[in-house]
Chains A and B, each alone.
Chain A
Amino acid sequence: MTDVKATFPHLGNYFVPLEVLFTAGIEVDYIVPPPITNRTLELGTRHSPDFVCTPFKYNLGNYIESLEAGANTLVQVGGACRLDYYGELHEQILRDLGYDFRFVNIGSTKLTKPLTFYNILKEINPDMTLKNIARVLPVVLKMIQYIDEAEDFIRKNIGFERNPGEFDHTHQRFLLEMRSIRSKKELYNYYIKYMNIFKSIEVDKPKKPLRVGVIGEYYTIMVPFSNHFIEKELATMGIVIDRWMNLTNSVIHDFRPEAKEHIKNYVTFDMGATAMYTIDKALQFAKKGYDGIIHVKSFGCTPETDAIPVLQNISSDYKIPILYFSFDSQTSEIGIKTRLEAFYDMIIMRKEAV
């Protein structure tokens, strides 16, 4: 073992597969960032430029708290939007704050090429072996897929559980025990076991429950704290929540050509980052007759802002209500709750009218 203590900012529950990737694959210690709290956001906001998008601030807060927890190697990736330039500024801000660390900026390197991927990981630990990473990477990718499948099931059922808290509790156990799994076979059996447990949880689901689709910007949609736990809020109202966006559908598989084809009546060109997926899924939810759609993003997110006029057209063509949320570090909790409640009242009245 080296003395490397690596960390990567939080994204949903993916710290579980990431931990396996770092510890078993790259063979370094991994510091899971402390759970996101108000302090994380405050720290990040205090040292970030004013109108940078909120994910930048959360990431920075995660880095600071991970450094405090002993991390010495920070990893950042690139992306199709401002994310592509996060790394350099994160590093600069943290250096200016006086922290001592190594920064590995994967930037916009094409991760789909296995060899490039390997070379970059080697930067984190030069002693890493190809054999090891080749053994662990498939397990990590499967873990991501299984987490996504389980969470998709939870979102659609948690609002109807007979014993409140059962899904959450099982979900936490599912994630916790997964951290020690190192083989694909073991993982598969584990997944089957847990899916059966999830499916055996008693639910009172009406024949035609309210269905709401959640769409929007990559980070905000996947990090519950950053969207003020909107999915949880919807579940307590007894709604089926459908959210397509996750790592499986965006990083592991490339659905861009399909998305572009689906939405050709609305959009000619790729509008950047996740805009195509946002529009594609909105259209799909509309066609399936969902009761409403919720669009979430961080303040000033350019591609998602540009998708809004298209969403408005879909909303009026298919007569489906869309609620737009834009989060920044100052968003008021009460404002969100009130708007959600009004949205709920509206969709339930529409349903009863039909």
Chain B
Amino acid sequence: MFIMKADREKPAKVTVGIPKALLYFKYFHLWESFFQTLGINYIVSPDTNKDILNKGINYAVDEACLSSKIYLGHVAWLMGKCDYILVPRISSFGKAGKVCTKFYAIYDLVMSTFTDSDFKLINYNIDSTNSENERKAFVKMGVALGKSKSQSLYAYIIAKQTQKTQLNIIKNEQLKLLNKDGIKILIIAHRYTVLDKYIGEPIVRLLKQMGTTPIFGHVVDTKEALVRSEEISKTLPWLFNKELIGALALYKDKVDGIILMTTFPCGPDSLVNEVVIRKIKDKPILNLILDGQEGTAGLETRLESFIDIIKFKRSDEID
């Protein structure tokens, strides 16, 4: 019945714009597969570059975190290039944990920031404590884009499977790397920091150039990680940090060093990094704060000396 109605009205073909920042790096399999299955056009903003960052800095409040500035830059890039911009709003995953208030606020933050432009956002709200779960949010989103409830639900189920398969492939690849010889460095960072081409990826590249193998904290079995996180911290409220801390507990003994990579001035990380540094005493830790300003020269020096320390330690252990 719903399908018939949708067919009769034949809504004009719409294009959804997806900012390549923040939650994109966690959900892109899910989002892209969902829109593909529904036959909805979508565009993704390009990798972060100097221009996008500068745009974001211009729109953002000075004190906002670098990651949210980058996000606003991507939203600005999408303005005028699509009919709807996907700005998900998440506040709670129920018992699993909450998220930084940035994700509570981001929808209204975008709405209040770009007051001079004409644009539409898609409503996508996850708030498990108020029984707004992911499935419901996706069905609503599909309906808002002119599809039927059943079509949207079907697309969500397909997308969820695709996401699961893709994440398993990535996890298995990392498992192989964990058993490799040579120096392995565990990177504990939010996906939107370490996977961003402008701020995180240069560091990953440098680590590889130095002959080490980067291991990613975000590539982990979530359920297992959440349980193991309690070994390091029992009262951690934020799901994304909990997952990373669990990965730290899981991978710690298989790596030679740990890099905590944080965008300035991340609220949750400001506390969590300190807890990690105070509790993990048996591995060298490098705390990298990224503000989007520095060139790679300074970073290179810090990474080199960090790797040197690890090499000394290893040769000591062999002797």
- Residue numbers of A with Cβ under 8 A of B are 48-53, 56, 78, 80-82, 84-89, 92-93, 96, 105, 107-108, 266-273, 275, 299-300, 302-303, 305-310, 312-313, 326
Contact = CB atoms under 8 A, between A and B. Distances in A.
B108 A89 contact: no
Contacts of B104: 269-272, 303
Nearest to B100: A302
B113 interface: yes
B171 to A, nearest CB: 28
B267 A53 contact: yes
B176 interface: no
Contact of B109 (A56, A82, A107, A309): A309
Contact of A96 (B100, B235, B238, B278): B278
Contacts of B63: 299-300, 305, 326
B271 interface: yes
Given A85-B236, A305-B61, A313 B105 contact: no
B61 A88 contact: no
B197 interface: no
B94 interface: no
Q: How large is the interface on B (under 10, 10 to 19, 20 to 34, 35 or more residues)?
A: 35 or more
Contacts of B65: 302
Given A272-B105, A300-B63, A92 B112 contact: no
Nearest to A81: B101
Given A302-B101, A310-B112, A326-B63, A52 B271 contact: yes
B237 A108 contact: yes
Given A49-B271, A52-B271, A85-B271, A269 B237 contact: no
A313 B111 CA distance: 11
Interface string B249-292: 00000000000000011011011111100110000000001000
B278 A303 contact: no
Contacts of A306: 61, 64, 101-102, 105-106, 108-109
A309 B105 CA distance: 11
B32 to A, nearest CB: 25
B121 to A, nearest CB: 9
Given A85-B235, A108-B237, A300 B108 contact: no
B33 interface: no
Task: Identify which of B91, B100, B233, B274 gathers the most chain A CB atoms within 10 Å of its CB.
Answer: B274
A275 B100 CA distance: 13
Contact of A271 (B108, B273, B274): B108
B93 interface: no
A92 B279 contact: yes
Contacts of B8: none
Contact of B101 (A56, A108, A273, A299): A273
Given A49-B274, A266-B112, 6 more contacts: A51-B264, A82-B267, A85-B268, A92-B275, A271-B105, A302-B101
6 contacts: A51-B264, A52-B271, A89-B275, A269-B107, A307-B105, A313-B112
Contact of B108 (A52, A92, A268): A268
Task: Identify which of A89, A270, A306 gathers the most chain B CB atoms within 10 Å of its CB.
Answer: A306
Contacts of B275: 88-89, 92
A81 B115 CA distance: 27
Task: Identify which of B111, B238, B271, B273 gathers the most chain A CB atoms within 10 Å of its CB.
Answer: B271
Contacts, number: 120
B240 to A, nearest CB: 13
B163 interface: no
Contacts of B190: none
Contacts of B264: 51
Interface in B100-133: 100-102, 104-109, 111-113, 115, 125
Interface in B15-70: 61, 63-65
A36 to B, nearest CB: 21
Nearest to B125: A269
Contacts of B278: 89, 92-93, 96
Task: Identify which of B89, B101, B264, B274 gathers the most chain A CB atoms within 10 Å of its CB.
Answer: B101
10 smallest beta-carbon distances between A and B, as pairs: A272-B101, A306-B105, A271-B105, A49-B274, A309-B112, A272-B104, A51-B265, A300-B265, A52-B270, A84-B237
B234 interface: yes
B235 A51 contact: no
Given A84-B237, A87-B235, A308-B61, A269 B108 contact: yes
A50 B64 CA distance: 16
Given A92-B279, A108-B237, A300 B112 contact: no
Contacts of A56: 271
Nearest to B266: A51
Contacts of A49: 270-271, 273-274
A51 B112 contact: no
Contact of A269 (B89, B113, B234, B289): B89
A51 B105 contact: no
A81 B100 CA distance: 8
A267 B275 CA distance: 35
A50 B262 CA distance: 13
Nearest to A80: B101
B232 to A, nearest CB: 10
Interface string B212-227: 0000000000000000
A54 to B, nearest CB: 11
Task: Identify which of A78, A107, A299, A302 gathers the most chain B CB atoms within 10 Å of its CB.
Answer: A302
Contact of A305 (B64, B108, B234, B235): B64
A123 B173 CA distance: 47
A309 B61 contact: yes
Interface in B62-83: 63-65
Contacts of A51: 264-265, 270, 289
Nearest to B102: A302
Nearest to B234: A88
A160 to B, nearest CB: 35
